[in-house]
């Protein structure tokens, strides 16, 4: 079930149901998955750029992050059930990764922020395997970094490059991976690093 707003199909489930019925099974079965948490800014960007819209449409799931999108859905026949903030989704995924001892890769933000994020994750989620981490000031087309990340076989790849760079990176390199849940997390690393 999805609600289409400005040509984008949004997930219309509660966060809990979205995770347990859609996302966790993909992790269990090592199926690749690309999640976009779309705030109104991202939706506006898809209106301004056809190329960006094409990238967002490659996502398995576009999640409504922001009340603006829920409001927009009021003008549609179906009302979006729940706003799913990207930051909350990331927290839940980290908790799940800790539970299941999944491995995670952290790509993005400035070097010192990126390092701080890994430190925080190690403390808060001791059962997560850190597949690796790298700051986000890289060229989108850098294949050697992407190959290295792919060869670490992470279960989850958090990409904090901001939009549209994180969606560009994911759609450019996802095909190098044999599994993985890919999620663009915007400024979340800065929040975690504090």
Binding site for ligand UDP (CB under 6 A): 108-110, 136-137, 160-163, 165, 186-187, 189-190
How many other C-beta atoms can be found within 10 angstroms of the C-beta atom of residue 85? 18
- Report d(CA 159, CA 129) in Å as an integer: 17
Taking the complex as a whole, the smallest distance from the CB of residue 75 to ligand UDP amounts, in Å, to 26
- For ligand UDP, which is the closer residue by CB, 169 or 177? 169
Q: Give Cα 143 distance to the centre of its chain.
A: 20
Choice between 165 and 179, CB closer to ligand UDP: 165
Least Å from the CB of residue 63 to ligand UDP: 15
Nearest-CB residue to ligand UDP? 136
What is the distance, to the nearest Å, from the Cα of residue 88 to the centroid of all Cα atoms in its chain? 11
Q: How far is the CB of 84 from ligand UDP (least distance, A)?
A: 17
Of the CA atoms within 13 Å of residue 49, those in its CB half-sphere come to 14
Residue nearer to ligand UDP on the CB measure, 177 or 189? 189
Provide the token pair at 57.
Answer: 């449409």
């Amino acid at each position: 079930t999805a609600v289409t707003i400005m040509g984008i199909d949004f997930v219309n489930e509660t966060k809990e149901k979205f995770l347990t019925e859609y996302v966790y099974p993909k992790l269990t079965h090592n199926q690749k998955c690309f999640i976009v948490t779309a705030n109104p800014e991202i939706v506006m960007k898809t209106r301004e750029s056809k190329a960006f819209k094409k990238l967002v449409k490659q996502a398995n799931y576009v999640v409504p992050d922001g009340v603006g999108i829920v409001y927009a859905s009021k003008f549609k026949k179906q009302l979006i059930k729940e706003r799913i903030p990207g930051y909350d989704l990331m927290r839940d995924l980290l908790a799940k990764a800790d539970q299941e001892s999944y491995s995670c890769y952290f790509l993005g933000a400035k070097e010192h922020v990126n390092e701080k994020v890994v430190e925080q994750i190690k403390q808060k989620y001791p059962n997560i395997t850190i597949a690796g981490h790298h700051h986000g000031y890289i060229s989108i087309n850098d294949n050697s970094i992407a190959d290295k990340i792919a060869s670490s076989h992470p279960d989850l790849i958090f990409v904090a490059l901001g939009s549209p760079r994180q969606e560009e990176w994911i759609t450019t390199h996802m095909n190098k991976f044999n599994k993985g849940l890919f999620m663009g997390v915007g400024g979340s690393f800065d929040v975690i690093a504090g």
